[in-house]
Structure 1
Amino acid sequence: MCIHDHKISPTLMPNCFTGSEAMFADLCYFSVGSVQLTFVFLVLPCLLLGYLGQAAFLMENLTTSEQVFFSSIPSWAFWPVLLVANIAALIASRTMTTATFSCIKQSTALGCFPRLKIIHTSRKFMGQIYVPVINWFLLVFCLAFVATFGSITDIGNAYGTAELGIMMMTTILVTIIMLLIWQINIFIVLLFVIFFLGLELVFFTSVLGSAEAGSWVLLIFAAILFMIMYIWTYGSKLKYESEVKQKLSMDLMMELGCNLGTIRAPGISLVYNELVKGIPAIFGHFLTTLPAIHSMIIFVCIKYVPVPVVPQSERFLFRRVCPKSYHMFRCIARYVVSQCFGHGHDLILLEH
């Protein structure tokens, strides 16, 4: 955050505990009650005292060019606060990478982001994942960002833009939850939006005035990320519509007969597609190009459903596609977004 020409760094002490927020959301390490109590009785007082103290220090030292956060604390508390600040930075970096991995995994499951290699590091906790490409990207991007600017003022401007963007997005998402899930009175929702979003927009317009001093990097990065997600979503939609239009008709399958006009070799063939009904066009390409096809064919479709838990008995839905002599089946694997595995692991489960 930047006010005029003075440098203000966020209070770092509460970050040791605010990091638990993302860990709770991603890995369920902490209970809801513990997070609520910590935020109300520890984080909020620390933030208020920290920011009010810095504001009071600025009012008394308008011409200071030092780092306000460390200049406003007593000299005897410098080293303890520096130690806590470094611990908070370590926790914040761990939280950021965990939250990024979780967002990428869920975006991939929803079809909003290109598929990446996701490694599940624990068999007990489903949320513990590692995305090598994203991890290396964060490393390179952070080093390039710090090396390019090298000024805490520019980094502070970028931080303020990112923080206000998160606050506005949180307000928008809470508004949607209030309308669709909690079903709160529309007038109360409007008051909530006008007050909080209006206040956040005022601050956001102020930080946009310093966009050329560091904030432009995050704005460009957000625009590039949005374009990647938009293009991938648009392309996935076109691909699905194409599969629906070009799927093979049942009349054609009946004309080919139970041998499908080719040689049926022993074994099981798994054909992954997005269709929940019908035979994909790619299967017709297999029939015309491959010298033989397996004796049992299973069309695998993985869907992610918006429910908290999918019972084990309802996770895999099997049904016959053609008459019994064809030995063709469809398997719909249903997963919650937070329960999804890599696609390769799903196919191995189905094959067994």
Structure 2
Amino acid sequence: MADTSSKASDNAHASHGHGRTGLLGLAVGAIGVVFGDIGTSPLYTLKEAFSPHYGLTANHDTVLGILSLVFWALMIVVTLKYVTIIMRADNEGEGGIMALMALAQRTLPRNSRSAYAVGILGIFGASLFFGDGVITPAITTLSAIEGITIVAPKLHTWIVPITLAVLVLLFGTQRYGTQRVGRVFGPVMLVWFVSLAAIGVMNIRHNPEVFHAINPWWGMQFFMTHGTHAIFILGAVVLAVTGGEALYADMGHFGARPIRHAWYWFVLPALMLNYMGQGSLLLLDPAMARNPFYLGVPDWARIPMIGLATAAAVIASQAVITGAYSVARQAMQLGYIPRMRIQHTSKDTIGQIYIPWINWILMLAVIALVLMFRSSTALASAYGVSVSGTMLIDTLLLFLVARAMWPKARRWVLPLCILFGIIDTAFLVANGVKFLDGAWFPVVLAIVVFTVLRTWRRGRTLLYDEIVKDGIHIDTFLPGLMLAPPTRVPGTAIFLTGQSGIIPHALLHNLKHNKVLHETNVFLTVETLNVPTAPKDKRLKMEPIGDDFYRVTVRFGFMETPDVPLALMRSCDAGGGIPFDPMDTTYFASRENVVAGRHRGMPIWRDRLFAFMHRNAAPATGFFRIPGNRLVELGAQVEI
């Protein structure tokens, strides 16, 4: 079953526009986007492992033990878990924790407690992802620019200002889109990984014995030698696998096969050669532990390498920022965060988007993080908690999907999920002990984001219940209205409503103030499905309810950008239904003014938080791409 799912995933990607693009081209594109985060881990992983924080001495057995743990972490967590297994759990060709959550919920009874618990898990995982989106740009850029202290130690005080300048420039140019810059991402990262491999090979020749670290015995011996203290070292080892979740999250852009081939045959060998080269240097001179990456670069190449590392850090940051936009759009579609203005930065690729609110919030958080920690070593203490937490949630969701949807493969996948869970838990514990040293930041950030997401979701439910409770049912209202019908005017009126079966407030206000009724009246509800793209046969449903009134439901997938007028026009082009003339159609929408009420549904502070978010949310009409010159908005006050 797993193999079938994998093939279906690849076919799905072909239909997403990759069918004519060669496997090599997609693999190069994936190298430029998908592997940026994990590809910059050699900048700081071994440096952190031998920092004074852990109290390790870079002797023979310790170096081989750490290298063995890094190698097997990459093999088990990234290669086996994400690349080989979890990428088979595609949701209509899409990946990522939100897609996996929707897939897992599909295996459970609708509206059940188990489905609710899976939703909580997925949303908390998405919250942790935003924490990763803040830390990755900070630590990768800082660790790249810290190389200048190897060339010119007196420039140490310039590290933070240069880092801030690079980050401000990165976030400030997001509104222009990544289409043009993205064309050079692949070649730059190709040069980066080739450089990693070349530097690694050059340093390995000093002490080829480092290849013994491939034997897992050295990792086990490390644990036997250091006892329980060895678990804490996993807080540094996990830095080698940060970015592994991105391989799955970006599967929808490139397909499973290109990502797998790029990882197996290019990225993984380059990373391991560099790690082995750094280990060889440490065996040669333990003092190089202060920065084994840059000290392993020849003197003549250090300045160019700082430039290349900075470019790689920017690309890694870009991938995480773009991922944050995608996750935010999915969360909007699934009803977990308020609607925000989305700008499309490409006429050809719908997935290239820019969300100003997310961009500036991320930028402020990243700048605050750099100013608080001021070095990659200090930041490494904060890094890892969000990554290991997301990986553990991925394992739990994978277990549910494999048990329900992979009857043949689950015999070997489920035992592996137990192994993955043990490793993920060990990583989480190792990073949890660093809570007071900086790990509190991503935890607090994730809790804040989670609270916002759950408050918005719960508030929407309460708002819906209040509208339904005080609303008038269509089946009872229309017959009474048509007993003494108001004047009918030419044209089509479309009333947007989130409550199917209830008369929209906009219609009642229109009748009260204008005392007219259009010839054709449509009650329009927009729904989001738990699949990336809505099937054509489920896109639009029309139901006549008499006297030229219609109930219409338009459905979109959680990866789509809703365009209601376009969906209605396409239904006309397909024949049947209501003839929508854009120049003779008026959209009516209700704009509820939410008032917080005590002892009703949520604590008062959450009511006020929801009311604040509701006031500042982008109007549904703009989110659904309804033209402003064809729109009439009418207000209503609702207490929750």
Provide TM-score, normalisation by structure 2. 0.48
- 1:213 and 2:433 are equivalent in the alignment: no
Q: Which position in structure 1 is the counterpart of 2:108?
A: none
From 320, 331, 334, give the equivalent of 1:110.
334
The residue correspondences of 1:176-255 to structure 2 (distance < 5 A) are: 176-184=400-408, 186-249=410-473, 250-255=475-480
CA distance in 2, matches of 1:71, 1:7: 21
Q: Which position in structure 1 is the counterpart of 2:567?
A: none
Q: Which moved more, 1:5-14 or 1:103-112?
A: 5-14
Letter in 1 for 2:556: Y
SS at 1:331 equivalent:
strand
Report the alpha carbon displacement of residue 156 of structure 1 after superposing the two structures with TM. 1.4
- Count of residue correspondences: 346
CA distance in 2, matches of 1:92, 1:347: 36
From 168, 172, 192, give the equivalent of 2:396.
172
Q: In the superposition, relative to structure 1, how do residues 204 and 307 fare at CA in structure 2: closer, same or farther (>3 Å)?
A: closer
CA distance in 1, matches of 2:331, 2:363: 21
Aligned-pair Cα RMSD in Å: 3.6
Q: Which position in structure 2 is the counterpart of 1:85?
A: 309
CA distance in 1, matches of 2:458, 2:294: 48
Q: In the superposition, relative to structure 1, how do residues 87 and 289 fare at CA in structure 2: closer, same or farther (>3 Å)?
A: same
Q: Quick check: which one's helix share is greater?
A: 2
From 556, 561, 580, give the equivalent of 1:340.
561
CA distance in 2, matches of 1:4, 1:206: 15
Q: In the superposition, relative to structure 1, how do residues 181 and 83 fare at CA in structure 2: closer, same or farther (>3 Å)?
A: farther
CA distance in 2, matches of 1:139, 1:338: 24
SS at 1:338 equivalent:
coil
The residue correspondences of 1:249-328 to structure 2 (distance < 5 A) are: 249=473, 250-257=475-482, 262-276=486-500, 278-280=501-503, 282=505, 285-286=508-509, 289-295=512-518, 296-307=520-531, 309-312=533-536, 314-321=538-545, 323-324=546-547, 327-328=548-549
Structure 2, unpaired ranges of 5+: 1-44, 55-138, 145-188, 194-241, 564-620, 632-640
Instruction: Work out whether residues 264 and 294 of structure 1, in 8 Å CA contact, stay in contact via their aligned partners in 2.
Output: yes
Provide TM-score, normalisation by structure 1. 0.82
Letter in 1 for 2:358: I
- 1:127 and 2:351 are equivalent in the alignment: yes
**RCO higher in 1 or 2 (8 Å CA, sep ≥ 6)?**
2
CA distance in 1, matches of 2:445, 2:423: 25
From 325, 329, 343, give the equivalent of 2:550.
329
CA distance in 2, matches of 1:197, 1:55: 28
Instruction: Work out whether residues 320 and 328 of structure 1, in 8 Å CA contact, stay in contact via their aligned partners in 2.
Output: yes
Please give the per-residue CA displacement for 1:191-241, whole angstroms capped at 9, x wherever unaligned: 222211211211221122222222211111000000011111111222333
- 1:67 and 2:288 are equivalent in the alignment: no
Letter in 1 for 2:558: V
SS at 1:257 equivalent:
helix
Please give the per-residue CA displacement for 1:67-104, whole angstroms capped at 9, x wherever unaligned: 34323555455345423322211211211121111000
SS at 1:302 equivalent:
strand
SS at 2:306 equivalent:
helix
CA distance in 2, matches of 1:286, 1:300: 17
Structure 1, unpaired ranges of 5+: none
Identity %: 26
Instruction: Work out whether residues 7 and 153 of structure 1, in 8 Å CA contact, stay in contact via their aligned partners in 2.
Output: no
Letter in 1 for 2:552: C
SS at 2:290 equivalent:
coil
Letter in 2 for 1:256: L
Report the alpha carbon displacement of residue 23 of structure 1 after superposing the two structures with TM. 9.0
